[in-house]
A and B are shown apart, each in its own frame.
Chain A
Amino acid sequence: MKNKFLVLLMVVLFMVSVFSAVQAQETERFVMGIEDEVSNLDPGETTISVNERVASLLFDGLVEYGEANKIVPGIAEDWTISEDGLEYTFNLREGVMFHNGQELTAEDVEYSYQRILNPDYGSGLRAKIESVESIEVLDDYTIKFTLSEPYAPFILAMTFGIVPKDYAEEVGDEELGRSPIGAGPFKMEEWDAGNQIVLSAFEDHWNKVPNIKELVIRSIPESATQAMELRSGGIDFGVNLDVGQLESFTDNPDYQVKSAAGAGINFLGFNFEMEPTHERKFREAVIQAVPFDQIIPQVFGILGERAYSMLPPTLWPEEREFLKENAVGFDPEAAAQKFEELKADGVIAEDYVAQVYVSNSRPNQVKTAEAMVTALNQAGLDAEVQAMEFGTMWDMLGRGEIGMFFLRFVSDPDPDYWLYRFFKSPEEGGALNRAFYSDEEVDQWLEEARAISDQAEREELYNKVLRKVLVEDLVFHPLAHSTQIYVMQDNVRELEPGNSLLIPLVTPTSNVYKE
């Protein structure tokens, strides 16, 4: 009897503690700062980074990114891929609700993807699903995608947000971008354009109801201001701080600074259709002249990690060791000698001044360029920094007017998204081949790798590509993988950086709250 009473008491106590724990996790209001202004939240159009991240809170996709960017089930419970890799059949969960109380069905999924496929709609996401031949609704909860050719990274495109067909058709694309309705964990409350967006927890979410009841997302473009806001308690969480500001938070017990290998790569590129960057000897001399191994840690600090591969550390072709060992190292004397020889041979013109182009909105790259130019001058090559607005630089790059440039690139976790665009010949679909590099072998490897689905085989092909372009031909020189840094107040829990295309407030593994 007594024992029973004790057990009961303990059960009650346990229940109370569990309950109170749950109670404590509920967070009334959570304020975060982002680096730019959100312009449009239509998930079909969001190729602009901040839009994409905020939209990921409002919309859910068929599948989601889980831990270490593995694909896990989202709205789709499970799926099957046919042997030939051409047919993807998804089974949707029943009872998934949109914010307006409608149930999500296969019709909505079809609509969401057809919309992006429509060329008139002009979506930047279209390139990722171009291989779709047809979309078939089998029943309310089953949908089948048929591809025209096998495309290994296709499953990543299934993370696109699903929009409610009825609503989208009724109000139109523009209105959808301004008053978004999705099936994500948060719903739109108030959008004070240019200032802040207020979201609230969606209580009928199919999976997890957020602990955060009211989420305020403020756009604070100046990183100095964002640092001040963190200090004054104006925001709980900030993502956009420069190295100098971060340093003052890392050893401060009132703040948590968390980092995760990010998906971005900062690299130095050369133009293959311009003199003298066309010469391998010149490219090698430039890389040898600059002590990148010393500059990168100083400039990027905890915001970056010295890179030797174009692919982020979280992505699979594990070729880093080889690339690191064979990377061109710092050797100022050799560089100076090469520059002299090139000048004597007339490859470097008498009045040549190397122009290093960099986007002025990336302070770390500007600093790296600054240090690099100083080193080049010391090695006997006249050089200048051209820090310009990204729009101007991007246009000049496209027209092939830039010899040496710094760029940063972020994409989804599949090597195809990265290497194909960079190194495939420009005429054959290398959309980002700003080096104007063209090599038949590389073209062939890249084409093969996207068609097979066996990861080991693909890995081998991508390794070949990386060795060829980074070690043999020196097309690009990888500088730093940007690390994702979150700075938050010390009472924030379960907020872990991971995928830089998301804001991980509610993920399969976490549900952020304030203590």
Chain B
Amino acid sequence: MFAYIIKRLLWLIPVVIGVSLILFGIMQLVPGNPAAMMLGTNATPAAVEALNEKFGFNEPFHVRYFLMLRNFLTGELDSIYYGDEVINIISRRLTATIELGLLSMIIAVLVAIPTGVIAAVKKNSLFDLVSMFIATIGISVPAFFTGIIFIYIFSVYLPFLPSSGYGGRIWTLSGLRHLILPAFALSTVMIASTSRITRSSMLDIMKEDYLVTARSKGVAEKIIILKHAFRNALIPIITNIGNQLAMMFGGAILIESVFAWPGVGRLAVSAVEARDQPLVFGSILILSILFVLVNLLVDIIYVFINPQISYK
């Protein structure tokens, strides 16, 4: 197990190199330079040139790439736009992103798994049809639209919750209140897809022979469902949650914009817009590393759920 984790962590090295090459390549293709963006419409060409020189923007391609990669690894990468170390800028926002992702996941799990299990057990009942229909709608709505509608309903029309912004850490009341709306808006897709997966994998499992045997032996239905079926159905569910969670850290960009949430996704978007290459580099690399780590975590959880799986 330990060796497996080490192996997976080593996998981060090619990921960092690959992602950084891709990013750096694409950023080369993107027209515009950070100095011109920073100085705005009032800048003289001389000032732009001076600033480009200062940031080493005039160096050849490979020199800049290796410099950037080295600085990223040693934590010395400096953002152009913010005039601060990328690691500082990101670490302030990373907690916000992780809090948002985690709470959405918790909401999604609490809502989706019971729904999916009940829908599977009572297949073709009214509950099944209605909940699955709602779930299918859930994955069909553009996320930013959900966000705006949520704000309008829960913050303006029924003034329960603050409409936007970050209110503090998740354990403070204000922090939690600010977090609820974006987390719900973000979790709709995850609720929808998780409940659909839960239902279908439960249905698959309940067809299996050993459950039929158990049933014929007279084991109580509740025990069959919870102990045997659900446990075995968990694997695809967790795979899906892992995928969704990983998507969330990067895909929350639209929700972060709507709710003025200070997360890494929004930071990356504004970094691309400001042509702040070191920050684009740093923030997207961090998101990619997070993605790999979440997937590793999912694999480890498999082992705890199903001891038959072992990684060597």
Residues on A facing B (Cβ under 8 Å): 37, 39-40, 42, 45, 47-49, 119-120, 122-124, 126-127, 173-174, 177-178, 192-196, 218-222, 224-225, 228-229, 231-234, 389-392, 394-396, 398, 407, 409-411, 421, 429, 431-432
A392–B30 contact, CB under 8 A?
yes
Q: Which of B83, B152, B155 contacts A39, CB < 8 Å?
A: B83
Q: Taking A228-B163, A396-B31 as given, write out 4 further A-B residue pairs in contact, using a Cβ cutoff of 8 Å, ordered by the A residue number.
A: A124-B40, A228-B155, A234-B155, A234-B165
User: Knowing A127-B47, A220-B260, A232-B159 touch, does A48 contact B38 (C-beta < 8 A)?
Assistant: yes
Q: Which residues of B contact A (CB under 8 A)?
A: 30-33, 35-45, 47, 50-51, 54, 81-84, 89, 92-93, 96, 148, 151-152, 155-156, 159, 162-166, 257-260, 262-263, 266-267, 270, 273-275
A-B contact count (CB 8 A): 142
B50, A119: Cβ atoms closer than 8 Å:
yes
Q: A122-B51, A228-B156, A431-B44 are in contact. Are A194 and B38 (CB under 8 A)?
A: no
Does the CB pair A431–B260 fall under 8 Å?
no
Query: Please, which residues of chain A bring their CB within 8 A of the CB of B93?
Result: 193-194
What separation, in Å, do the CA atoms of A228 and B181 have in the docked complex? Answer: 13
CA distance A120 to B35 in the complex (A): 13
Q: Of B36, B92, B164, which contacts A395 at CB under 8 A?
A: B36
Pair B43/A47 contact, Cβ less than 8 Å: yes
- Selected from B38, B159, B163, B263, the residue in CB contact (under 8 A) with A47 is B38
Q: List 6 A-B contacts (CB under 8 A).
A: A47-B39, A48-B38, A124-B43, A192-B262, A220-B260, A234-B155
- Across the interface, A124 reaches (CB within 8 A) one of B42, B81, B148, B259, namely B42
Tell me whether A195 and B165 are in contact (CB under 8 A): yes
Measured between beta carbons, the chain A residues less than 8 angstroms from B258 are: 222, 224-225
Is B166 a contact of A225 with CB atoms below 8 Å?
no
What's the Cα separation between A429 and B45 when bound, in Å?
Answer: 9
Q: A390-B273, A391-B31 are in contact. Are A178 and B39 (CB under 8 A)?
A: no
Residues of A within 8 A of B273 (CB): 389-391
Give the docked Cα–Cα distance between A225 and B261 (Å).
11
Rank and list the top 5 A-B pairs by shortest CB-CB distance, nearest first.
A194-B262, A391-B32, A124-B39, A395-B32, A395-B31
Contacts A193-B89, A221-B260, A225-B259 hold; do A126 and B47 have CB atoms under 8 A apart? yes
**In the complex the two chains form, is B42's CB within 8 Å of A411's CB?**
yes
- Minimum CB–CB distance from B17 to chain A (whole Å) comes to 27
Cα of A228 to Cα of B81 in the assembled complex, Å: 29
Closest beta carbon of chain A to B98's beta carbon, Å? 14
| Chain A positions within 8 Å of B165 at CB level | 195-196, 218, 220, 234
The answer to whether A195 touches B166, judged by C-beta atoms less than 8 angstroms apart, is yes
Contacts of B81 in A (CB 8 A): 39-40
Determine the chain B residues whose CB is within 8 A of the CB of A228 once the complex forms. 148, 151-152, 155-156, 163-164
B270 touches A37 (CB 8 A): yes
From B37, B45, B96, contact of A394 by CB (8 A): B37
List chain A residues, Cβ under 8 A from B32: 391-392, 394-395
A219 closest partner in B (C-beta): B260
For A174, what are the chain B residues with a Cβ–Cβ distance below 8 Å?
A: 83-84
Residues of A within 8 A of B155 (CB): 228, 232, 234
Cβ contacts under 8 Å, B35 to chain A: 122
Min CB gap A21→B, angstroms: 31
**What is the bound-complex CA distance between A39 and B260, given in angstroms?**
15
Closest approach, in angstroms, between the C-beta of B280 and any C-beta of chain A?
A: 12
CB-based nearest A residue for B79 = A39
A390 to B156, CA, bound (A): 33
Instruction: Find the B residue at minimum CB distance from A398.
Output: B36
Q: Is the interface of A mostly helix, strand, loop or mixed?
A: mixed
B163 touches A221 (CB 8 A): no
**CA of A398 to CA of B41, assembled, Å:** 11
Question: Across the interface, which residues of A come within 8 angstroms of B267, CB to CB?
Answer: 194
CB distance from A267 to the nearest CB of B (A): 12
Q: Are B84 and A178 in contact (CB under 8 A)?
A: yes
CA distance A228 to B267 in the complex (A): 22
Contacts of A126 in B (CB 8 A): 47
Which single member of B31, B40, B164, B270 contacts A220 (CB below 8 Å)? B164
Cα A49 to Cα B148 with chains together (Å): 27
Contact B266 A194 (CB under 8 A): yes
A124 touches B92 (CB 8 A): no
A194-B266, A391-B37 are contacts. A234–B162 as well, Cβ < 8 Å? yes
A221 — which chain B residues lie within 8 A by C-beta?
A: 257, 260, 266
Query: Could you tell me the distance between the alpha carbons of A359 and B309 in the complex, rounded to whole angstroms?
Result: 54
Chain B residue with the shortest CB-CB distance to A130: B44
A421 to B39, CA, bound (A): 14
Q: Which residues of chain B come closer than 8 Å to A410, judged between CB atoms? A: 41
A221 to B164, alpha carbons, bound, how many Å? Answer: 11
Q: Please give, as numbers and ranges, the residues of chain B lying within 8 Å of A392 by CB-CB distance.
A: 30-32
B163 CB, nearest partner CB in chain A, Å: 5
Cβ contacts under 8 Å, A220 to chain B: 164-165, 260
Chain A residue contacts of B38, Cβ below 8 A: 47-48, 124
- Contact assessment for A391 and B275 in the assembled complex, using a CB-CB cutoff below 8 Å: yes
Distance in Å: Cβ of B143 to nearest Cβ of chain A: 13
- CB-nearest residue of chain A to B267: A194
Q: Is the pair B166, A232 in contact by a Cβ cutoff of 8 Å?
A: no
Would A431 and B37 count as touching, CB distance under 8 A? no
Determine the chain A residues whose CB is within 8 A of the CB of B259 once the complex forms. Answer: 225
- Could you tell me if B163 and A122 are in contact, using CB atoms closer than 8 angstroms? no
Question: How far apart sit A192 and B178, CA to CA, in the bound complex (Å)?
Answer: 15
Most chain B Cβ neighbours within 10 Å, of A119, A178, A396 = A119
Closest approach, in angstroms, between the C-beta of A325 and any C-beta of chain B? 29
Which A residue's beta carbon lies closest to that of B92? A193
Q: Are A232 and B162 in contact (CB under 8 A)?
A: yes
> How far, in whole Å, are A303 and B139 apart by their CA atoms in the complex?
37
Is B163 a contact partner of A193 (Cβ separation < 8 A)?
no
Contact of A218 with B82 in the complex, beta carbons under 8 Å? no
Q: A48-B38, A392-B32, A395-B32 are in contact. Are A225 and B260 (CB under 8 A)?
A: yes
Alpha-carbon gap, A224 to B259, bound state (A): 10
Min CB distance, B270 to chain A, in Å?
Answer: 6
CA distance A220 to B163 in the complex (A): 11
A391 with B274, Cβ < 8 A, contacts A178-B84, A232-B163 known: yes
- Contact of B162 with A122 in the complex, beta carbons under 8 Å: no
A429 to B275, CA, bound (A): 25
User: Which residues on B sit within 8 Å (CB–CB) of A429?
Assistant: 44
- Is B39 a contact of A229 with CB atoms below 8 Å? no
What B residues does A390 contact at CB under 8 A? Answer: 37, 273
Whether A218 and B260, one on each chain, are in contact in the complex, defined by CB atoms closer than 8 angstroms, is yes
Q: Given the complex of chains A and B, what is the CA–CA distance between A124 and B44 in angstroms?
A: 8
CB distance from A156 to the nearest CB of B (A): 13
Which residue of chain B lies nearest to A412 when distances are taken between CB atoms in the complex?
A: B42
Interface centre among B83, B92, B259 (most CB of A within 10 A): B83
